[in-house]
Amino acid sequence: MSDISHADRRKKRVKRLKRMIVASFFLLLTIPTALCILLVCRLHTMSNELMEMTAQYEAQLQITDDMQNLLDDEKSNGRDEKSAKDATGTDGDAEDEILDEATLKADEPRKVYLTFDDGPSIYTEQILDILDTYGVKATFFVTGAQAEEHPEWYREIVERGHTLGMHTYSHVYSDIYKSKANFIRDFTKLRSYVKETTGVDPKYYRFPGGSSNTVSSTDINILCEYVTDQDMVYFDWNVSSGDATDPMPSKDRIIANVTDNVGKHDTAVVLFHDAGDKYSTVQALPTIIERIQAMDNTVILPITEETEPVQHKKVNTSEED
Ligand SMILES: [Zn+2]
């Protein structure tokens, strides 16, 4: 009797031990696998963010270069005008003409375009409310991230009178920039979605990372040409709010990034992001609009056919046709 119960107990112990071994084995296997999956996902998001930040940094360098060239040009123009005057003596008519030109330029208002990438998101509605409060229209370069869950967010942008442009359906750099075919697939998917959902055939495009991005493994000129051939104008930016940097900058930093730089351009295209993790952008927006509206001879407009495109990279135009 005691032999049997002793054997039973042993069997139970062995069983328990077996179960423990299986459980520990299972845990040892699943925990690292789950961690790996999490890390891969995080890596993927971070590499996308990094690419966008690199592209924006490069674009900023390009803008600084352009401004330096412009300054050099202006300086040498000034010198040329002065030497022309010295050679011919003061010509009253020519002087009037120069004066007229200066007045004309001063009379033309500075145009500021507020543009929002990566949305719509939970913050888009708040941004639309702020824009309404100040009677301002803006431009939204949307992705397809909320296409299935929230089609009403896309419709609202259009219904409230703003310009809706495209910024890729997937926003996955490694996919869309891998080949022209991938780019076209993504482009067509978003275009059809926007058309079906909002009734608007989009006319404006923004490349993730801008047309000056160096992460595209497909020649960006080919993609610029494709977009242009589709009767779409691509827009980059010449003022960055810096709200795509990691960690997210403070509201005050965003305000300064925009308001310190808008005045440097006759046509200022400001880059913001209305993604779901950009709360500082929402907080900064009222002050930014108030300060721009307080600037002399300055208007805030949505992108339209009249807008002079701001492009980091121009489409190579052929001389033959
Ligand atoms: Zn983006």
- What are the structural domain ranges in the chain? 111-300
Give the per-residue pLDDT at 66: 58
pLDDT exceeds 70 at position 93? no
How many angstroms separate the alpha carbon of residue 78 from the centre of ligand 1? 40
Instruction: Give the pLDDT band of residue 65 (cuts 50, 70, 90).
Output: low
Alpha-carbon dihedral 245, 251, 255, 257, rounded to 10 degrees:
-20
Which pLDDT score is estimated for 319?
Answer: 39
pLDDT-derived band at 24 (thresholds 50, 70, 90) equals confident
Cα 275 to middle of ligand 1, angstroms: 9
CA of 121 relative to ligand 1 center, distance in Å: 13
The β-bridge partners of 214 are none
Cα 84 to ligand 1 centre (Å): 48
Tell how far the Cα of 265 is from the centroid of ligand 1, in angstroms. Answer: 23
What pLDDT does residue 87 have? 37
- State the distance from the centre of ligand 1 to the C-alpha of 164, rounded, in angstroms: 14
Mean pLDDT across the stretch 266-290?
A: 97
pTM, whole model, 2 decimals? 0.73
- Tell which CATH classification among 3.30.420.10, 3.20.20.370, 3.40.50.2030, 3.40.50.10090 matches the domain 111-300: 3.20.20.370
Compute CA distances 160 → 115, 136, 138, 148, 197, whole Å.
15, 11, 10, 21, 15
Give pLDDT tens digits for 194-236: 999 999 999 999 999 999 999 999 999 999 999 999 999 999 9
Residues sharing a CB contact under 8 Å with residue 102, sequence separation 6 or more, in sequence order: none
The Å distance, Cα 142 to ligand 1 centre, comes to 9
Q: How far is the CA of 119 from the centre of ligand 1 (A)?
A: 9
